[in-house]
Structure formats: C-alpha cells, structure tokens
Amino acid sequence: MFLFDANWYQILLKFEVLMLITLKFWKWIKPKNVSFVILLLKMCFIFGQDLQTKNVIVIDPGHGGKDTGAIGKNKVQEKDVALCIAKEILRLNKILLNDKFDMYSTRYNDTLISLSDRSRLGKTLKADLFVSLHCNASATSSKGMDVYVHNTNNEEVHIKNSIALGLSILNESALKLGFKKRGVQFANFQVLRENTTYRPSILIEMGFVTNTDEADYFLKSKNIRAMALAILMGLYNHLNI
Ligand SMILES: [Zn+2]
C-alpha cells in the first residue's frame, strides 16, 4: 500500500506551488496588501497538512498592569502595543497558519507578570522559542527596530540561533514595513538570561513610541496586524529553512 496516493500528491503539489507564489509575493508586500497576503497564505495552509511535530513558541508581551512600560507620543503605552501585537500573532497563527505553531502568551490581559514567571512558562511548556515584545523609548527622535539577544560568552547556549531568528524577523518586519533596521544587539535582560540556555530567545524592540511617526503607526489596527504578520512570517521562515 502506498503512503501517498494520487490525491495526496495533487494536494501536496498545490500546496508547494501556492507556498512558492505566496512567499515570493510577500517580499514585495506593502502594509496595505496584508489582507490579500493573509488570504493567499490561508489557502496554502488549507491545502497543506501539518505532518510535523509542532514547535512550541512563547510570545511574551512586555510590562502590563501598573507597569506601563514606555509612554510615548499621543499617550501610546508600550504595554498596550505589546499585548495587541502578541494577541494578533496568536490569532494569525490560528486562522492563517491553521495552528501550525503551538503558541502561548505570557499574558492575555492587562496584568503584570513577573519576569521570572515569564521565563517559567517557557520552562514549563518546554518551549522551542521565546520571543519577548517591547517598544523602545528615547529622549531624542530615535526610530527603528532592534532585536536583543543575551550577551553571554557561554558557547553551549542558543546564541547563534537567537541571532538567526532575530535577523529573520527583522528582515520580514523592519524592511518590509518601512522601519529603520537597527540590527541585533546584545544585552543581559533577565528573560533572555533565563531562557537562552534552553532555547533561542530574543527581545524585539518594535519601534520607538517616543517617535511621532512610530507612535502613530501603532495607533492603527491594520498596522498592528501588519507587524504581527511580519513577526509571524519571520518565525515561520526561521523554522522552515
Ligand atoms: Zn519594555
């Protein structure tokens, strides 16, 4: 008995072709075309079947509750931007990628979770990736996106993969959404320190809420959706190379 019959082969072939078309198209996307790309991608995953073990990904929207994080222009609060984008990433994974990834958020509401509890979730779930979402702030007019990885010298930890993941996300988000790409930086942030030994871990600074243009950007729901989709595609590309 054949494992794949003719019908199966047809389905797989359609899936491959649609994926190629969609991924090629994504390289030229403008934020306003996001809805169309979502439709295309959804078609791909309807045709495809997830035969692999799911990657477990923890998305960590920074701050929450009484900890607002940075407060920027037009009273945009970092904690709100991070939560909206995290929820949208999870939603798109569900409706667009047909739950390709086993995704969790460290918070689903405007509540403050301790840094050690955020790391603990990664440990409890035996997560494959940990992605913390933040916005930057500056007294100057600085703008653009950064990704941070832990500044350890320990060669056994997942630094190389963390850098690759960060670059994959920056390539999808910063460039295609029109943000300045500030690159991958190193820092001793607690959530990175506590996760990087076990899994590739990054902290994304998704733009400066203190910059008028970038604060305005996060006020529009279509932009929240575009940023979430870009981060999701960065994760997807990294895990499917
Ligand atoms: Zn922050």
User: What residues does each domain of the chain span?
Assistant: 1-49, 53-239
The distance in angstroms from the start CA to the end CA of the chain is 31
pLDDT at 176: 87
Tokens representing 48 are 């495809």
Q: Report CA(235)–ligand 1 centroid distance (Å).
A: 21
Q: Report CA(111)–ligand 1 centroid distance (Å).
A: 14
pTM for the full model? 0.80
Mean pLDDT across the chain, nearest whole number? 86
pLDDT at 9: 38
Tokens representing 36 are 């169309």
pLDDT at 157: 81
135 in helix, strand or coil? strand
pLDDT at 5: 38
Q: Report CA(180)–ligand 1 centroid distance (Å).
A: 19
pLDDT at 234: 97
Collect contacts of 75-83 with beta carbons under 8 A, ≥24 apart.
Answer: 76/209, 76/215, 76/218, 76/219, 77/209, 78/134, 78/135, 78/137, 78/209, 79/110, 80/110, 81/135, 81/206, 81/209, 81/218, 81/224, 82/133, 82/134, 82/135, 82/206, 83/107, 83/109, 83/110
Tokens representing 156 are 């056994």
Placement of tokens 């990704």 in the chain:
147
Q: Report CA(221)–ligand 1 centroid distance (Å).
A: 20
pLDDT, tens digit (0-9, with 9 covering 90-100), for 107-135: 999 999 999 999 999 999 999 999 999 99
CATH (one of 3.40.630.40, 1.10.150.110, 3.40.47.10, 2.40.10.230) for 53-239: 3.40.630.40
Q: Report CA(135)–ligand 1 centroid distance (Å).
A: 6
Identify the band that residue 41 occupies on the pLDDT scale cut at 50, 70 and 90.
low
Q: Is the pLDDT of residue 6 over 50?
A: no
Residue 148 CA to residue 144 CA, distance in Å, equals: 13
Identify the band that residue 71 occupies on the pLDDT scale cut at 50, 70 and 90.
very high
Q: Report CA(61)–ligand 1 centroid distance (Å).
A: 9
Q: Report CA(69)–ligand 1 centroid distance (Å).
A: 5
- Which residues keep their CB under 5 angstroms from ion ligand 1? 62, 69, 134
Q: Report CA(203)–ligand 1 centroid distance (Å).
A: 9
Residue 29 CA to residue 176 CA, distance in Å, equals: 7
Q: Is the pLDDT of residue 191 over 70?
A: yes
